[in-house]
Amino acid sequence: MNTALAEILSAALLVAVLAWAVLRPKGLPEAVLAVPAAGIVIATGAISPAHAREEAASLGPVIGFLAAVLVLAHFCDVEGLFQACGAWMARRAAGSPGRLLAAVFVLASAITAVLSLDATVVLLTPVVLATAARSGVRARPHLYACAHLSNTASLLLPVSNLTNLLAFEASGLSFTRFAALMALPWLVAIGAEYLVFRRFFDNDLAASVHSPDRGETPALPVFALITVGCTLGGFVVASAAGVDPAWVAAAGALVLAARALVRRRATPLSVVRASSPAFLAFVLALGIVVRAVVDNGLADALGHVLPGGSGLLALLGVAALAAVLANLINNLPAVLVLLPLTAAAGHGAVLAVLLGVNIGPNLTYAGSLATLLWRRIVQRDGQEVRLGEFTRLGLLATPAALVAAVAALWLSLQVAG
C-alpha cells in the first residue's frame, strides 16, 4: 500500500474506533471495532508486522498492570471500602454541601491516585450520589468533582492512570522519582480545580439542606486497607529492585481475589470479568491503530509544531498541545502519539505531555474514556448532565489547573536538578 492510502486508511480507522468508543452502539464493547481495525491495518500493510509486534510487546506489561489494578479495585469494593468511604463523607459533611464537596475532593483524589481513575468513576461516583441524597444536598457539584478528579487527580503515581503507565515506561524514572516530581503538580492542579468548583457551584453549595439521613456506619475494611498499603509499598521496593510493578499489582489483586473466593463472595469467572478483558483488548488494538497513524505521517506533522527545550514556556507548549490533541482524538491515542516524539527530550517533556493528556480531557466529554463512562453512570442513575454546563466548567477549570500544574512541574524539575 502506498503512503497516501496508508495514511488515509489508518486515520479513518482511528476516527471510527474512537467514535465507536464514544457512542458504543447497543452497549457493545469498544473492542468490537478496535480489534478488527487493528487486523485491517496489519493485513493491508498500513503498519508492518514488525512494528505491530513491537507495539504489542511495549503495551503488554502496561496492559497486565492495568488488569491487576482493575481486579484490585473491584475487590476493594467487594470488601466494602467504598461504602465505608461514603459513610466517612456523610459524617464529615454533617449536612453541609461545602464540607461534602471538600470530602469528595479528598477521597476522589486519594482513590484516583492509589486505585486508578476507573475506581473513582465506576465505584466512587454511585457512592457519592447516594451520600449526597443521604445528606440532603444537591448532587451536581459532587458528581462533577468525580468526573474532573478522575482525570486531574490521576497525575501522582504511575498506577493512577493508563496514560501514566505509558509515560512511566517512556520516562525512565523510578516509581518514587516519578511520584516526587508529580506531587507538587498534583496538589496544585487539585487546588485550582477546588477553587473553581467553589466559585462555579456557589449557589448549589449555599442551598438550604434537608435533614440528613445518618444511616448505619459500615465497618472499616481493615484487610483491604492493609493489602492496598502493602501493594503501594511493594511498588516502591520493586522499582528500586528493577522488578516490573505489574508483579506487585498482581500479588495485591491475587490476595483480595483469593480472600473473596474462599469466602464465596466471588467466582473464578467474576475475577476474570473484573479485569475487563474486552477493554484490555481495546487498549492493545487501539495502540496498534495509533502506531499505524504515527508511522504514516502524524509523527512528522506533530514534530514540526512540538516545542523543543525544557524551559517553562516549552513545557507549557507541550502540555497545551497534548491537551488539544486529547480533546481531538481522546487522551489515550494522544499519549501514544506524543510519547515517542518527546522521550528523547527528557523526562520533563514526557511529564508535560502527561499533564496535558490528564488535565486537558476535562474540557470535553470526548477527552477521555473515563469521562464518557462517568456520563453513562450518572445518566443511568437519573441525573441530568448538561453539555453546556460541563463545557463552561471545563473552560474555567482546565486552563487554570493546567497552567498551574505545568508551573509546579517546572519548579519541581528545577529543585530536583
**Contact assessment for residue 145 and residue 101, using Cβ atoms and an 8 Å cutoff:** yes
Amino acid at 74: H
What is the number of other CB atoms lying within 10 angstroms of the CB of residue 293? 26
For the chain, state the CA radius of gyration.
21
For every residue of 256-276, DSSP letters joined together read HHHHHHHTTS--HHHHHHHT-
Amino acid at 351: L
Of 111-125, 194-208, 364-378, the least confident: 364-378
Per-residue pLDDT at 214 exceeds 60: no
Q: Could you give the CA distance from residue 269 to residue 255 in angstroms, rounded to a whole number?
A: 16
Q: What proportions of the chain, in percent to the nearest 5, are helix, strand and coil?
A: 80, 0, 20
Residue 19 pLDDT class (50, 70, 90 cuts): confident
Residue 151 pLDDT class (50, 70, 90 cuts): very high
Find, among 375, 370, 387, 365, the residue nearest to 120 by Cα.
370
Q: Grid coordinates representing 150?
A: 478522575
pLDDT value of position 117: 87
- Whose grid coordinates read 471495532? 33
Per-residue pLDDT at 94 exceeds 90: no
pTM above 0.85, yes or no: no
Amino acid at 390: F
Higher pLDDT, 82 or 402: 402
Q: Could you give the CA distance from residue 55 to residue 48 in angstroms, rounded to a whole number?
A: 11
Higher pLDDT, 148 or 337: 148
pLDDT value of position 211: 56
pLDDT value of position 58: 81
pLDDT value of position 253: 94
Q: Could you give the CA distance from residue 253 to residue 340 in angstroms, rounded to a whole number?
A: 31
pLDDT value of position 209: 66
Per-residue pLDDT at 9 exceeds 80: yes
Per-residue pLDDT at 239 exceeds 70: yes
Average pLDDT over residues 176-205: 95
Higher pLDDT, 247 or 66: 247
Share of the chain above pLDDT 70, in %: 97
Average pLDDT over residues 271-286: 90
Amino acid at 315: L
Find, among 331, 373, 289, the residue nearest to 34 by Cα.
289
Q: Grid coordinates representing 239?
A: 522499582
pLDDT value of position 20: 86
For every residue of 159-200, DSSP letters joined together read TS-HHHHHHHHHH---HHHHHHHHHHHHHHHHHHHHHHHHHH
Q: Grid coordinates representing 170?
A: 517512556
Average pLDDT over residues 222-243: 88
Average pLDDT over residues 369-378: 82
Higher pLDDT, 408 or 85: 408
- Whose grid coordinates read 507548549? 317
Average pLDDT over residues 111-133: 89
Kind and range of the H or E run holding 213? none
Find, among 93, 82, 157, the residue nearest to 121 by Cα.
82
Residue 1 pLDDT class (50, 70, 90 cuts): low
Average pLDDT over residues 84-105: 88
